[in-house]
Each structure stands twice: as structure tokens, then as C-alpha cells.
Amino acid sequence: MTGAMLPLLVAVPLVAAAVLVLLARRTRSTLVVLTAVLALGLAGAVATVVASADGGTLAHGVGLWPVGIAIPFAADMLTALMLTATMLLTLTCTAFAIASGFARRRYFAPLVLVLTAGVNGALLTADLFNLFVFIEVMLLPSYALFILAAPGKARLRRIAGARMYVLVNLLTSTVFLAGVAFVYGVAGTVNLAELAGAAASSDAVAVAMAICLFALSIKAAVFPVHGWLTQAYPATSPAMTAMFSGLHTKVAIYAIYRIYAVVFEGDSRFLWIGVVAFTVTMIVGVLGAVGEKSPRAILTFNMVSGIGYILMGVALFGVAGLAAGIFYLIHHMIVKASLFLSTGAIEVRYGTGSLDRLGGLARREPLIAVAFFAAALSLAGIPPFSGFVGKLGLVLASVSEGQLVAAGVMVLASLVTLMSMLKIWSNAFWGKPQAPDGSSPAPHPWPLERGAHAHHEASTVLSPVQHPEDATHHERSRISLPLALPAVFLVVVSLALGLGAEFLLGLSETAAQGLVDTSGYVEAVLNS
Amino acid sequence: MSIAIAAGVLVAGAVYLFSRREMLRVILGFVLLSHAVNLIIIAAGGTDRRDEPIGGDLDPSLVADPLPQAFVLTAIVIAFAITIVMLVLAVTGRHDDDMSQPPQRDSEPGTQASQPTREQGGTS
């Protein structure tokens, strides 16, 4: 992997998407191409990790224009780790979407590829305006995928979620764009390398960058501006919730890490804002989770809480804190997607995610039950899973930075997280299986093409599409192996990262060093 | 100065339109807001100290900065695309414009008859 190959991570998915639009009717072949391109992207991302393992930075100015005009692409260890994690998640969620039938919707494959191109571009670019463009490239297919999840005749809730999603993201992007304009106005450049340290030395640049960071915090769903996430995410299809949870907010988090490290050079004057906001985010997230009723809503609120943990790494700016934050970021992406996929598999096959309507699944779906339980423990931070390593690192870093309140909140929020997870566990997996009489939902397997429509919405569930033959093989597992495997796979990854934590910890420490001392990154971009 | 005032007026109009319930007005608000931001980007190029790039033998530090203009072109295209997406959303879900009235559900047989209350409470 060399610097000049970085643009391929954006170009290949985009070109493939364009070709697949023409072939959109031949679903099967589009899915083969989709999987192949994603696998190729994953290989490229892993190669980037290998290439930046020595702490170096790959960089390339597209078109060899002079710095400041060219589109700069740069990848250090943090970028490479994020690329690998996002590609892995996209691939896994695509596998789930194929198994659940959602992927058979026309244009699914090209949309996912454009999404991938946008995510990769946003992670790779070292230019604020390009970041805006790539975030839009990432969001536009997401709007379409969000709406694809709605059944033929969209009902109220779906559309409301989609509108909210589009409007909030557009408003945020517009605010971000205004911030970029102000940065250009006061600094005369939007290239991250040329902006290095600008916010630390000039208050005008700091204010302009703060507008950008504020917009990114909305996208990341930090406490006072997290409400859109918890409304929008449960409203789409399970496969898409899992994919978006791993990509969108995490790209914003990555940008916050990068911008604060490069432009602010970790300026300690502003860190207290982060400590306060992210601590409150952790608490508000878990408390919201305890109050929710459907697994996906609980998980979305837990996600808000997790975002507080991840960003605490920036607020504790230092090698230990950043490394723990990056570790937690990767862990969170994987585990969260696993949880969304395991509960999503239940939603797709049982037609409901409502905890009042599920029960006794542990006996009936042992594989999903084990996957969910393990991922829940990992999310709460129980050894030997990856969550334990990440949370331990963050708590230790907060204590050594003197942020005792934050450390206490982290431990407390973990306990509440466990509680909210147990709520799903005891309601959906333990307890009596729901009898298929008239009042409780008659569980029926959704035919494959309707699988995508089968959501937590009770109205959908209670449609009198009855399958009387179900009563006979009531005890049989209904979630097929291909549908369960993505969630299981991600749990195994989490377990491996927990048992072999040294490996990822080493990589995230390299990434953290690159953030504390940004001279290598800056130099690479300037010489690209 | 005139650009700053124009951007301010556009933002004020956008905020007013955002406070309406109808999706269409919100979309028009976004049109105004994106114009405001485009003006800000143009102003960021230093319109007060630069002249139009007409004539030969020009000093690059005194004629209009081309970079913000490229930014604006890109931003206009993106805003245009998203406006279309939003207009589609405005058409497909006409009934939930005004949440103070009970939403009209589509009368697809069998989907809503069984438990209408669930759907109403679903927007939490």
C-alpha cells in the first residue's frame, strides 16, 4: 500500500456503484460484485494498517496539484484502523442484509457502495471542505437506504424517522459548511496540515473550528444534541441500523479526534468542555436506555452513552487516554453492530422487537441468545471481552488525569448499561414463550422478501398474515444460520480483541502517538 | 457588509420557515439557509479587498479568490440534490405534516385495523 493507492479506496466503490446501477435488475450479480468490492476494500484497509504500523503516514495529493488546492488523502494508524473497522462492519451488515432479504431491494448494492466511498473518503481526507463533501456523499445514499426500508406504502412512523434524519443531518452539514467558510475566512486555508496548531495560537480560528466541532458533535450525537439519533435509528431496517451505527456517528467521532489533535494540538484550555459534555452524555444515554421498551431503542440509547466514553479519550488528551478511546471506539463499533444484528435477526424472523411480545427465546434460538449475551457483557465491560479492556483503559486514564468524577461515572454507567441489557435478556430470552393466541403476536416467519418490512412496529406485526401451520413446529428455531452468523462473527471478533488485547492496544497506542505528535501527519500531507 | 446583512436576512428567513410545521416550508427554509452559507463562503474569500478578475496582468492577491467559488459550486450541487430528496419526502408523507391532528393512516387492509393505538404511540 502506497500513498498513491489511497484514492482507490474511494474510486473503486464509486465506479463499481455506477456500473451496478445499470445492472440493478440482476440482484444476484450485483450482490456478488458488492461483496467482492467490499472484500477488496477490507484487504486495502488491512494493507494500510500494515503500512502505517511503524507510525508513519501515507499521503497523496490527488492530481498532484500543489498543497492547498489538491484533494489531500492521508492515512496514519488511526485512519487505517477506522478504515478496517468500517469495511469489516459494512461487509458483515451486508451479509446480514442478504440473509434477511433486505439486500434484494433494487439499488441496495450501488447505494451501499456509494456509502462506502463516502465513509472511506471522509476518513482519508485531510481537508475540511473535502470532509464536508465526503460526509454528504456518505449521507445521500443513507437517506435512500433509510427510505428503502419502508414498505411499499410507507406508514407514518417510517417517514417521520426519515424526515427527521434528513433534516437534522442537512442542518448539521450546513452549520459545518458555515464553520468551514469561517475557517477559510480567518485562516485562508482549509487544509488540515496547513491549519496545524492554528486554533491553539489564534482565537479567531479556534472559534471558527469550534463551529465545525459543534456540527460534528451533533452528527456524533453528544448529549444536548443527541435526540435525533434515538428517534431516527430505530425507525429503519435492522441491517441499516447496524450499518449506520457503525459508520455515521463514528466518522464524526473520527473527525473530532483528528481536528482536535491537529488544529487545536490538544489545547488543554478547552478540554473541560469535553469532560463535562461527554460525562453527561454517558449518564443520559444509559438512563434513556433503561426507560425504553424495544431492543433497538435501548441499544440506540446505549450507543449515545458509548459515544460519551469514546469521546472521553479526546477530552483526556494524552497517549493513555487517546489510546484507550481509540480502542473503545473500535470495540464499540463491533459490539454495537453485533447487538443490532442479533436483535435485528429476531425482529426480522419474529416480526417484532417489542419486549412485551417476546419471551423464551433462549431455548428456541440458542445461537442468537449466546451471541446477544456475550455482546451485552462486552458492551457493559465484563472480562474477557474487549469492552473490559477499553473501559479499564479509560478509567485508568481519567484517574491519572485527575478526572475522578468522570471515572466514577464511567463505572456507574457501565452498571446501568448492564441493567438495560439484562432487561432485554430477561424479557426476550428468558420467560415464557408467547403463545400464539389472538391477543399476543402470532409468531410467523416472514417470507423472505417481506423480511425487510418486519419491524418492531406492532401494527405490522399484528397484520393478520397468519401461518396456521406454525403452531405445530412452534419450538423450532426460526433464525437461519446465515442470519445469525454476522452477529456471532462480530462477537467472536470482540472476544478475540478482549483476549488478545495486546494487539489492538499496541495499534491504538501507535495511533494515539500520531495524534499527540502530529508532525509526521502534517509533514506527510504537506509533502504529498 | 452588504454580504453579511444579506446572509443575516436569509438566516432569519430560514429560522422563521423552520418554525412552521409543513415540510414544504422547512425545505424552503433550507434553500434560504444554503444560500446564506454560500454567501458566507464567498465573503470568506475576501470580497472586501479583492476585485473582479478581468483584464490582463493581474495580481493574484488582489483579484477574486477562485477557491471559495469552487466550494460554493460544490455546495450548490449538494444542496440541490438534498432538496430533491426532501421534496420526495414531503410528497410521500403528506399526512404527518401537522401532528396536532390525528394522523390519517393509509387504509391498507389488515395492517392497522388490529391495533391502532400502537402506531400513534410509536413516535417516542
Contact A156/B71, CB-based, under 8 Å?
no
Scan for cell 479499564, then name that residue. A392
Q: d(Cα A353, Cα A340) in Å, to the nearest integer?
A: 11
Give the C-alpha separation, B38 to A511, whole Å.
Answer: 36
B1-51+62-97 classified as CATH 2.60.40: no
Model ipTM value: 0.80
Q: A416 and A290 in contact (C-beta within 8 Å)?
A: yes
pLDDT score for A120: 94
Query: In angstroms, rounded to a whole number, what is the distance separating the alpha carbons of residues A263 and A200?
Result: 7
pLDDT-wise least confident of A80-84, A133-137, B81-85, B107-111: B107-111
Asked whether the beta carbons of residue A174 and residue B30 sit closer than 8 angstroms, the reply is: yes
Phi, psi for residue A125 in degrees, rounded to 5: -70, 150
| Total H helices, total E strands in chain A | 21, 2
pLDDT of residue A95: 92
Of B85, B106, B122, the CB nearest to A143: B85
**Mapping DSSP to helix (H, G, I), strand (E, B) and coil, where does residue A58 land?**
strand
d(CA B37, CA A179): 9
Q: Using the CB atoms, write b or e for A321-343: b if 16+ within 10 Å.
A: bbbbbbbbbbbbbbbbbbbbbbb
Burial of residue A268 (number of CB atoms within 10 Å: 0-12, 13-18, 19+)? exposed
- What are the extents of the domains in chain B? 1-51+62-97
Distance in angstroms (rounded) separating the CA atoms of residues A285 and A312 = 14
- Rounded distance between C-alpha atoms, residue A145 and residue A150, angstroms: 9
pLDDT in tens, chain A (528 residues): 788 888 899 999 999 999 988 887 788 888 888 999 999 999 999 999 999 888 888 888 887 788 777 889 999 999 999 999 999 999 999 999 988 888 888 788 899 999 999 999 999 999 999 999 999 999 999 988 887 776 554 444 456 677 888 889 999 999 999 999 999 999 888 889 888 888 888 899 999 999 999 999 999 988 888 888 888 887 778 888 889 988 999 999 999 999 999 998 888 888 888 899 999 999 999 998 888 888 888 889 999 999 999 999 999 888 899 999 999 999 999 999 999 999 888 888 877 767 777 777 777 788 888 899 999 999 888 888 888 988 999 999 999 988 888 899 999 999 999 888 888 888 888 877 664 433 444 343 333 333 344 443 333 444 444 444 444 445 667 778 888 888 999 999 999 988 888 889 889 989 999 889 888 889 888 887
**What does the domain layout of chain A look like in residue ranges?**
23-436+477-526
A312 Cβ neighbours under 8 A, 6+ residues apart:
A274, A275, A278, A279, A282, A321, A325, A394, A398, A406, A410
B51 in contact with A at a CB cutoff of 8 Å? no
pLDDT of residue A394: 92
Residue A42 confidence (pLDDT): 93
Size of interface A-B (CB pairs under 8 A): 117
Q: Is A65 left (phi over 0), alpha (psi -120 to 50) or beta?
A: beta
Mutate to test the interface with A, among B34, B38, B71, B95 (most CBs of A within 10 A): B71
Burial class (CB in 10 A: 0-12, 13-18, 19+), A433: middle
> What pLDDT is stored for residue B93 in this prediction?
62
Phi, psi dihedral angles at B58 (to 5 degrees): -100, 145
Query: Exposed, middle or buried by CB within 10 Å (0-12, 13-18, 19+), for B91?
Result: exposed
How far CA A137 is from CA of A29, A88, A112, A360, in Å, comes to: 24, 20, 11, 43
Is residue B105 over pLDDT 50? no
The verdict on pTM exceeding 0.90 is: no
Task: Encode pLDDT of B12-53 as tens digits.
Answer: 999 999 988 788 889 999 999 999 999 999 998 887 777 777
CB contact under 8 A, B106 and A153: yes
Q: Which three cell numbers stand for residue A152?
A: 411499499
A454 and A446 Cβ atoms separated by less than 8 Å: yes
Q: What residues in A contact B45, CB-CB < 8 Å?
A: 184-185
Tell me the nearest-neighbour CA distance from A238 into chain B, angstroms. Answer: 17
CB contact under 8 A, B82 and A166: yes
User: Are the Cβ atoms of A129 and B71 closer than 8 angstroms?
Assistant: yes
Q: pLDDT value at position A482? A: 83
Residues 6+ apart with CB under 8 A from A441: A350, A351, A352, A357, A434, A458, A461, A462
**pLDDT of res. A475:** 61
Q: How far is B6 from chain A (nearest CA, A)?
A: 15
Residues of B in contact with A180 (CB under 8 A): 41, 71
Strand pairing of A71-75 and A58-62?
antiparallel
Cβ contacts (< 8 Å) between B74 and chain A: which residues?
129, 133
pLDDT value at residue A197: 86
Nearest Cβ partner of B118 from A153, A182, A459? A459
**Nearest-neighbour CA in chain A from B66: distance (Å):** 10
- Residue A10, helix vs strand vs coil: helix
Q: How far is B99 from chain A (nearest CA, A)?
A: 10
The answer to whether B82 faces chain A, any CB pair under 8 Å, is yes
Whether A166 sits inside 8 A of B78 (CB atoms) is no
pLDDT value of residue A56: 85
SS (H, E, C) B19-66: CCCCHHHHHHHHHHHHHHHHHHHHHHCCCCCCECCCCCCCCCCCECCH
Alpha carbons A472 and A311: distance in angstroms, whole number: 51
Confidence of residue B9 (pLDDT cuts 50, 70, 90): very high
pLDDT at position A474:
53
Place of cell 444554503: B34
| CA gap A510, A444 in Å, rounded | 50
Nearest 5°: CA angle at A508, between A504 and A511?
Answer: 145
Q: Would you state the pLDDT for residue A461? A: 41
Nearest CA-CA distance, residue A68 and chain B, Å? 9
pLDDT reported for residue A252: 94
